């Protein structure tokens, strides 16, 4: 009776959608979610469902608050609810996951209520392309202007080659789906298929939606200053004042990965860039899951062989002798991983990768405290952003660079 009464506003009036969302936000932000708290969240979600089904208007503020509730629960489920007793963790996480999926379905219902016509096949194709996409080309910098100039200067019989190269590059850009485009496509697809797909599909799509929604918000903040290369005066001064040559500093990073653990990290990092995102999945620690490794061995033998060969060669050898920029980049990242991922027994398997300081599309980790340098990869822009979170909660960008050399500069400032 008390719960039913609490869902009524003053003077026994029925709560609006905005009020229900506010209550949901308060309930899901609690440090510990008891069984009664989960039941309360479920009742609030049911009332939200009824209100949306009855055609009540959902303003942008309420929709954004609902989205933030979903992101919070998604991260809580992915990272595990540390406040719960160990024996109750599995049951608690299952309840959190179910609430996350229900919020996702509510957001899809809100999108469906708008009645906008969309191309469902196109939305489905965007989701498929995102699942099949890899990060293999994330270090390559487009050179459109140079190609265009070459096409003008080239003889007539060579012009088609330049034109084909430009078309190929344009197609590659089309296949690179941004976080914002992917989240909208997932939402639109589900909004037009509610009741036609099973719960398993909704769980998978909910994870994809909330993860990319969070990434989209973060990327907008990090790229607030634009997408041009940027290095702060402090970072530039730090790099120029070092008495140790740049190449020697980079070599020392790669040498830090010279161990058995470093070989494992190097292999799995490289595979995480080479394999489709649907195979790699998302993890907390440095090594791929057993399921992902098994799937990779069955369907992507060439990539697995490459990963093993690079790992056996070792980070230092790869850094000094490999001609592949991605392999060299992973050698550096493996060294940085060894330097940063510490604490407890077997940290590379049990601790958060890079202690949460490096954000990659296949990592979901607990963030470090404010004031600590962080490095984020923004895949669709092919940018590496080095930043700190200030006391006001806003990011202070120190480096915003592209390509292999950009990553090297960011890592030198990072450590």
Residue 8 confidence (pLDDT) above 60: no
Residue 89 confidence (pLDDT) above 80: no
- Residue 128 belongs to some domain of the structure: no
- Residue 333 belongs to some domain of the structure: yes
Domain hosting 154: range is: 134-175
- Residue 123 belongs to some domain of the structure: no
The pairing of strands 383-389 and 374-378 is antiparallel
86 and 36 inside one domain: yes
Mean pLDDT computed over 234-253:
84
29 and 157 inside one domain: no
Question: Which are the contacts of 187, defined by CB distance < 8 A and separation ≥ 6?
Answer: 107, 108, 111, 209
Give CA–CA dist 95/378, Å, rounded.
Answer: 32
204 and 74 inside one domain: yes
Residue in 30, 22, 190, 166 with CA at minimum distance from that of residue 109? 190
197 and 264 inside one domain: no
pLDDT 10s digits, 159-173: 445 554 444 443 344
- Residue 126 belongs to some domain of the structure: no
163 and 301 inside one domain: no
Q: Do residues 335 and 254 lie in contact, with contact meaning Cβ atoms separated by under 8 Å?
A: yes
206 and 241 inside one domain: no
77 and 145 inside one domain: no
The rounded mean pLDDT for the chain is 84
How many folded domains does the chain comprise?
3
246 and 394 inside one domain: yes
pLDDT of residue 195: 65
Position with higher pLDDT, 21 vs 91: 21
Mean pLDDT computed over 2-31:
71
Q: Model pTM?
A: 0.83
pLDDT of residue 146: 41
Question: Which are the contacts of 392, defined by CB distance < 8 A and separation ≥ 6?
Answer: none
Question: Which are the contacts of 256, defined by CB distance < 8 A and separation ≥ 6?
Answer: 262, 315, 335, 336, 338, 339
* High-pLDDT (> 90) share of the chain, %: 52
- Residue 50 belongs to some domain of the structure: yes
Residue 396 confidence (pLDDT) above 90: yes
Q: How many residues in total does the chain contain?
A: 415
232 and 94 inside one domain: no
Q: Do residues 334 and 262 lie in contact, with contact meaning Cβ atoms separated by under 8 Å?
A: yes
What is the rounded radius of gyration, in angstroms, for the C-alpha atoms of the chain? 24
DSSP of 357-384:
-EE-TTB--PPPPTTS-EEEEEGGGTEE
């Amino acid at each position: 009776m008390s719960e039913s009464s609490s869902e009524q506003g003053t003077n026994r009036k029925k709560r609006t959608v905005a009020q229900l969302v506010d209550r949901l936000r308060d309930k899901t932000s609690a440090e510990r979610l008891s069984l009664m708290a989960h039941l309360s969240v479920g009742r609030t979600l049911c009332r939200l469902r009824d209100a949306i089904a009855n055609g009540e208007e959902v303003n942008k503020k309420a929709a954004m608050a609902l989205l933030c509730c979903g992101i919070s629960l998604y991260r809580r489920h992915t990272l595990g609810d540390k406040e719960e007793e160990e024996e109750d963790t599995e049951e608690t996480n299952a309840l959190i996951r179910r609430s996350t999926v229900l919020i996702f379905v509510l957001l899809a219902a809100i999108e469906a209520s708008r009645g906008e016509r969309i191309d469902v096949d196109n939305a489905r194709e965007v989701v498929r392309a995102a699942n099949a996409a890899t990060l293999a080309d994330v270090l390559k910098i487009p050179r459109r202007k140079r190609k265009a100039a070459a096409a003008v200067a080239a003889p007539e019989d060579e012009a088609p080659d330049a034109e084909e190269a430009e078309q190929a590059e344009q197609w590659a850009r089309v296949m690179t789906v941004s976080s914002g485009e992917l989240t909208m496509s997932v939402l639109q697809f589900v909004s037009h298929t509610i009741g036609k797909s099973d719960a398993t599909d909704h769980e998978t799509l909910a994870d994809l939606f909330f993860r990319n929604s969070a990434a989209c918000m973060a990327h907008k903040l990090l790229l607030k200053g634009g997408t041009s290369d940027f290095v702060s005066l402090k970072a530039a001064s730090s790099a120029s004042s070092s008495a140790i040559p740049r190449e020697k500093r980079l070599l020392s990073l790669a040498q830090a990965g010279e161990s058995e653990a470093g070989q494992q990290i190097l292999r799995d990092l490289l595979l995480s860039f080479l394999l489709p995102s649907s195979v790699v999945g998302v993890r907390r620690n440095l090594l791929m899951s057993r399921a992902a490794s098994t799937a990779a061995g069955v369907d992507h033998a060439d990539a697995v062989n490459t990963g093993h060969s690079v790992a056996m060669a070792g980070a230092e050898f790869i850094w000094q002798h490999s001609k592949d920029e991605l392999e060299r980049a992973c050698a550096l990242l493996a060294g940085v991983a060894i330097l940063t991922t510490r604490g407890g027994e077997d940290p590379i398997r049990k601790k958060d990768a890079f202690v949460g300081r490096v954000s990659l599309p296949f990592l979901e980790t607990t963030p470090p405290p404010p004031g600590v340098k962080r490095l984020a990869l923004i895949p669709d822009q092919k940018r590496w952003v080095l930043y700190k979170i200030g006391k006001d909660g806003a990011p202070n960008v120190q480096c915003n660079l592209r390509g292999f050399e950009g990553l090297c500069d960011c890592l030198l400032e990072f450590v």
